[in-house]
Amino acid sequence: MNSNNEDIKKYSSNEIFEYLENINQIFLIYDYNIIIEKSVEILHTLVNFNNYAFFSMHSETGEYFIKKTNVKNLKEIFFIEEKEILEWVIQENKIIAMSIDENIDKEDCLCIPLIRGPYKSGILQLRIEDDWHLVSRHTIFLINMLINNLVLSLENKRMYKDMEVQAIESEKNKNFINNILESIPNGIITLDTDGIVTQINRNACVMFNLQDSSIIGENYRNCFAEKFKKELINIIYETKKQGFIIDKRIEIKRDEELIPLGINSSLFYDAKGNLLGMLIVMRDMTASKELERLRKIDQMKTEFVSNVSHELRTPLTSIKAYVDSLLNIVPMEDFKQRREFLNIIEEESDVLLRLIEDILNISKIESDKIVLDLKILFLKEIVMQSLQSIKYDKNVHNVIIDISSDVEIPADQERTRQVFTNLLSNAVKYSPEGGEIKISAKEENNKVYIKVQDQGLGMTETQVEKVFDKFYRADTSHNINGTGLGMALVKEILDKHEVSIYLESEFSKGTVVNIVWPQV
């Protein structure tokens, strides 16, 4: 045998060209099995073999298992169990021929490792007919080219599969994160550094009356109503300046209703620390506001209980003291003294009675048990009755009634009398000595405009805002008695009549109570 041996296969340039075209086709195949089949088919043009087996390595156990073959009984004709031979082939990463049976001097099994970098696709074994010792380097070179293409194709296939898995994984992740986003009971908006909306959850859509999240991809300036847009410009400015915002309160309008929002925001970055954008979290504070209101009421009730206890105890203590005197000290004969004491007891009892009535009324109205008995009444008459029921010193306060006798209003007599009693008694209570109290009314467009003016302490703006709150007392420093229920009761009763009331007041100058009473 020598290098000019005629047995050695020679390739013409045409053959090589055709061969290259053939092996390039492997890249176009996407099916794992067909890649192997096509490669085996091309191998047939270079090497004389009948059987082949493709072994894959299990990525976890490192064991080899058969992936594709054209024979049934593998053990006799291929290396399967001599693991160290297979490992050597993988480690050396080159094509080798060996005899299955060590005692026979014929290399009849060709082992081709399919490796590229760290990726070990497996080993292709061919049961060859020819003497491998006679195969030229040229042929081995061509086989290597084929194998390179085969390995690359397998790797492409594997990477493609990995990518699919990753795509599914990332889709899952995305869904998971989306679920979280949608389930958070807050509105969430993210903006990129150019102010483009990159995310908006359902809650945020509801807050801004948006049908869906289709504003994603648009600049925030084009997406929101003017009011919120202005707020948003501020939020973005502040967030950029200090990196975050904590619990900023704003209001937005939705369906003609003002909704209080609590805003938190922060900037977010990628792993390398580059600014990606801004996260804005919005909390609907309506529920919180309601809670706050209830808490306030609760606090007021506590105050009220202590107020009421005080108010109830004062007349009771007084009554008890006078009864005590009458029983034990004042002589039976002293009728003058007795009469005086009994009068005081009556007065104090009246105070007690009124207090208890107030409490009962407010709870009645609150629980909607009150039913109005509407009749057409003369306003002046009601006001006069009310004035009579309050005790005031004509020498101290000057009360002027400027109402023409024919002014009529549709009203529940008893309740309306209560309204004016409360208003007048307030006016008297809070007016200084010599102060003038004026009640006037005029008719216009089927409405009666009633004014109750005093020259009393007056109130600040905040006090006016709270004046109709139950148990609220504008001033507790002047030793003026009260339950804090009077004005609340007035408001409740007038609301039932669908009559509006508003106050104008100037601190230390006096207050004007305005009532607009529709006549129809």
Partner 1 sequence: MADEVKLKKIVDQIVGLPTLPTVVAHITSMMQNPKTSATDIGTIISRDQALSAKVLKLVNSAFYGFPRRIKTISHAIVVLGFGTVRNVVLSASVFDAFKGTTDGEGFDRKGFWVHSLACGVAAKIISKRLGIKNIEESFIAGILHDIGKIILDQFVKEDFQKIIQIVNEKKCLIYEAEKEVLNFTHEDIGTWLADKWNLPIELVAVIANHHNPLNVKEGGGLAMIVHVADILVRAIELGNGGDKKIPLVIKECWDQSELSLLTLDKVFSEIDEEMEKASVFLALLN
Contact set with partner 1 (CB under 8 A)? 1-5, 8, 10, 82, 84-85, 88, 91-94, 96-98, 102, 105, 107, 117, 131-138, 141
| Closer residue to partner 1 (CB): 98 or 407 | 98
Exposure on the CB side of residue 233, measured as CA atoms within 13 A? 8
- 100, amino acid identity: I
Exposure on the CB side of residue 418, measured as CA atoms within 13 A? 25
Rg (CA), the chain: 49
Q: Name the minimum Å distance from CB 122 to partner 1.
A: 19
Q: Which of 51, 118, 115 is nearest to 86 (CA)?
A: 115
| Closer residue to partner 1 (CB): 16 or 356 | 16
- 62, amino acid identity: G
At which residue do the structure tokens 């969430």 appear?
A: 188
- Per-residue tokens: 500: 């509006």
Q: Do the beta carbons of residue 484 and residue 408 sit within 8 Å?
A: no
Three-state SS at 68: strand
Q: Name the minimum Å distance from CB 187 to partner 1.
A: 48
Q: Do the beta carbons of residue 474 and residue 467 sit within 8 Å?
A: yes
Distance (Å) of CA 101 to CA 74, 75, 410: 14, 12, 119
Element containing residue 202 per DSSP (H, E): helix 202-207
Q: Name the minimum Å distance from CB 120 to partner 1.
A: 13
Q: Name the minimum Å distance from CB 84 to partner 1.
A: 4
| Closer residue to partner 1 (CB): 91 or 508 | 91
Q: Name the minimum Å distance from CB 216 to partner 1.
A: 44
| Closer residue to partner 1 (CB): 91 or 286 | 91
Q: Name the minimum Å distance from CB 97 to partner 1.
A: 5
d(CA 179, CA 176): 5
Q: Name the minimum Å distance from CB 132 to partner 1.
A: 6
Q: Name the minimum Å distance from CB 208 to partner 1.
A: 54
83: left (phi over 0), alpha (psi -120 to 50) or beta: alpha
| Closer residue to partner 1 (CB): 85 or 503 | 85
Q: Which of 50, 177, 68 is nearest to 126 (CA)?
A: 50
Backbone angles phi, psi at 245, to 5 degrees: -135, 135
| Closer residue to partner 1 (CB): 115 or 245 | 115
Q: Name the minimum Å distance from CB 130 to partner 1.
A: 11
| Closer residue to partner 1 (CB): 88 or 378 | 88
| Closer residue to partner 1 (CB): 148 or 213 | 148
- Per-residue tokens: 28: 């176009």
Strand partners, 189: 200, 280
- Per-residue tokens: 509: 């100058």
| Closer residue to partner 1 (CB): 9 or 354 | 9
Q: Name the minimum Å distance from CB 109 to partner 1.
A: 11
| Closer residue to partner 1 (CB): 92 or 334 | 92
Q: Name the minimum Å distance from CB 106 to partner 1.
A: 11
- Per-residue tokens: 189: 């908006």
d(CA 302, CA 296): 10
Q: Name the minimum Å distance from CB 154 to partner 1.
A: 18
| Closer residue to partner 1 (CB): 84 or 226 | 84
Strands (E), 445-519: 447-453, 500-506, 510-518
- Per-residue tokens: 327: 């029983």
d(CA 250, CA 261): 5
Backbone angles phi, psi at 107, to 5 degrees: -80, 100
- Per-residue tokens: 514: 């305005």
| Closer residue to partner 1 (CB): 64 or 420 | 64
| Closer residue to partner 1 (CB): 107 or 284 | 107
Q: Name the minimum Å distance from CB 92 to partner 1.
A: 8
DSSP secondary structure letters along 139-153: HHHHHHHHHHHHHHH
d(CA 475, CA 24): 96
Q: ∠95-97-102 over CA atoms, to 5°?
A: 145
Strand partners, 127: 51, 109
Q: Name the minimum Å distance from CB 79 to partner 1.
A: 11
| Closer residue to partner 1 (CB): 43 or 407 | 43
d(CA 90, CA 462): 86
